[in-house]
Structure 1
């Protein structure tokens, strides 16, 4: 699908409905065919993750926060959430993340993984070796595996993306302070 064709539609008055634009039926069919071909080429796990994210978006994108779905969160919570579609080298789809700050319906989160290979690649302060954007946080009570944070993927999200609270890191703990300090080093 050529983005320029879609952008041309934006020149119509904002009062237009898609069905009123003559080019819309063909563009819609072309888009659906392209998406279908993309899905057929995906590995099963990736295709399912994309479908889950798309359904979560349809179900929750109009929610102001996760509280509308009965989910109550706090800073330090480790949540399972949906980051949605991602570009290369971004956290996407369903991942765990730790909430560092909650502000005006959004949460500042750092995505995390329990992937053993990623965990092993994380920076070690003692040796000065490893990837600095990865921070080991060990086994958090409530989780089943040691986890690593993707410091370079930290961002604000609408809390409606939160699927479930799984664990908690005390905001007064040494670990939570280390996470915040490490993140601040990335911003310098």
Structure 2
């Protein structure tokens, strides 16, 4: 993949990531929110598949860009704008792996564009989940290492404690025996 294509793919990724409300777009162009949602959206979805323009989170960066382009178009030039914008943006979709919609029925182009977007978002999600999993594994390894050190220290401490108890028991038995023998020697054999 050459640098132009990867740049274009990065642009498409940005187009699908950001989200804007109709109110934000309307305020930018000093129009009513309903104008953005109805009249203008009908025009820009002739340029790109609706799935690339809007979802339940709002309008995409691509939609915001197209709204910006469309805002300055005169009423009599709108059909020409659609043709030109379609040519401009379909080239970007093609370089991102989306087949140009004019070579096939619009429904197929829309499905392919949607699938490309979904695959990209899924890829980002998988990459993020993998990164989280790797972080969790690192934390578990650190905790396991800390646990192993703690277990080792506990075992050493238990060994020392046992050795002290054994030595103490041995020393007490030795001292009692010596004391008992001394008393016998001095006392004539009575314990």
With structure 2 as the length reference, what TM-score do the two structures score? 0.24
Give the strand-richer structure, 1 or 2: 1
With structure 1 as the length reference, what TM-score do the two structures score? 0.25
Give the helix-richer structure, 1 or 2: 2
Q: Which has the larger radius of gyration?
A: 2
